[in-house]
Amino acid sequence: MKNLKLKAARAGKDLSQQELADLVGVSRQTISSIEKGDYNPTIRLCVAICKALDKTLDELFWE
Separation between Cα atoms, residue 20 and residue 7, nearest integer Å: 11
pTM check: above 0.75: yes
CATH code of domain 4-55:
1.10.260.40
Separation between Cα atoms, residue 50 and residue 13, nearest integer Å: 12
Per-residue pLDDT tens digits for 8-25:
999 999 999 999 999 999
Domain ranges of the chain: 4-55
Nearest residue to 48 (alpha-carbon basis) of 12, 38, 37, 30: 30
Q: Is the pLDDT of residue 48 over 90?
A: yes
Give the dihedral sign, CA 51/53/55/61.
Answer: negative
